[in-house]
Amino acid sequence: MSNKDTLFYRGNKSISLDFSSSEISSDGSLILLEKIEREYKLIKKFGKHLPDSRNPLYTTYTREAQLKQRVFMLMLGYEDANDVTHLQHDPLFKDVLQGDLASQPTISRFENSQNKQSIFDLSNAWVDHYVSSLAGRKRIVIDVDATDDPTHGNQQMSMFNGYYGQFMLNELFFHDGETGQIILPVLRPGNSHSNKWYVSILKRIIIKIRTAYPNMEIIIRTDSGFSCAPFYKLVDEYDLLFITGQASNSVLKEKVSRAVKAVKHLYLNDGQKHQHFMSFCYGAKSWHKKQQCYSKIESTGLGMNVRHFISNIEEKEARELYFGFYVHRGEASENRIKEVKNMCFSDRLSNHSYWANFFRLFMSSLAYEMFLLIKKRIKKSSFEIAKKWQISSIRTYLLKVGATIKITKKRIYYQLSKAFVYKDLFREIITQ
């Protein structure tokens, strides 16, 4: 090798680099993703609901194959369809997808082929899939929360949101508070208030659950943005339990004013933080009846922290209700949304079409669901340290591994790196 190829010297040895080795992929975990898909058939299930008006004589890639390619790419960290350009010669992708990868223009046409009816069908299929997983359970917790998705172009339904101070789309999620499953992802216009559409959507979800499991105990858990009159009518109509935050107002401030003064006085006397809980009946003028309201009044040293929440769960005391159940909403819902948004790239809704971006949200959510299946396998393994991994750690430590492929007449050999740190864990979960 000539001197111009030398990068630097280590002692009397020159260090050089070339790319002439045999075809090595950095995504050796593709074989794991394929096995999980073969076992659970998630992608296959939703691929059936995708419209396809193409002429079969001129069709190279099925809708299922396109969906599989896009979801697998998201799971492996390739957030944009443009990344296909860099992967078109990857030997493992070509093997798992059983052919060349669909090009970026093909994937773009695939995303933009979605319409209102196909998204509606996918939404129904998504909820049906969740309901089918509830066998044997007697209680579920439904967490409802939303997040912003900033926009930077001419996307349909991109609107200015005063709360976030930006042009954006609004992502609404219904999560299972115990398993982490996405019950349904919804894309809303950017200027949507938290409670826009959610009661009517929640009603559809409840009807499907109760139709299949009439005796299922259902608890709804939300923050204050979802407290509204139609919600309280819904919980009475379908005999639901709930706990929801409540924004402060002049009436609530008056209700807790004496407790605030008392807690502040205690802090000034001894310099220690104090907490006080109280409960009372409260109802806004638009509500059909008053609800049981709870307030937490706390001196923090930096000021007073007053939180209000409303619940019809009667068997628990206010303190237990708040710390034992309500505050877990952050971990159960907000952190999971962050994983969908940041690790499965639901914040990359850059298509012009609203329905195409809604479909992108579905694909990111599907990638998240596939990760949940990997987490499920990890929890069954003997590797305790891995059981706390989030999606970012799973991708870094488990999915991104060098591998080559060798194909003979009767066998296909996947050869992963001998130096793979978590090879024993990988072997354990792929053979479950």
Q: How far is CA 145 from the centre of its chain?
A: 11
Q: What is the pLDDT at residue 88? A: 86
pLDDT value of residue 4:
66
Question: How much is the average pLDDT of 355-374?
Answer: 97
- Per-residue pLDDT at 207 exceeds 90: yes
344 with 74: CB under 8 angstroms? yes
Extended beta strands in 151-262, E state: 159-161, 166-176, 182-188, 217-222, 241-246
> How far, in Å, CA of 115 to CA of 121, rounded?
10
Confidence at residue 1, expressed as pLDDT on a 0 to 100 scale: 44
pLDDT in tens, 261-294: 999 888 888 878 888 999 999 999 999 999 999 9
1-15, 54-68, 134-148, 374-388, range with the lowest pLDDT: 1-15
Q: In CATH, what class is 116-247+329-343?
A: alpha beta
DSSP conformational letter for 348? -
Two structure tokens written together for 145: 């929360």
The CATH class, in words, for 250-312 is: alpha beta
The residue that leads in pLDDT, 171 or 60, is: 171
Considering the entire predicted model, what is its pTM? 0.91
Q: Which helix (H) or strand (E) holds 279?
A: strand 274-282
Q: Domain-by-domain residue ranges, the chain?
A: 3-113+354-430, 116-247+329-343, 250-312
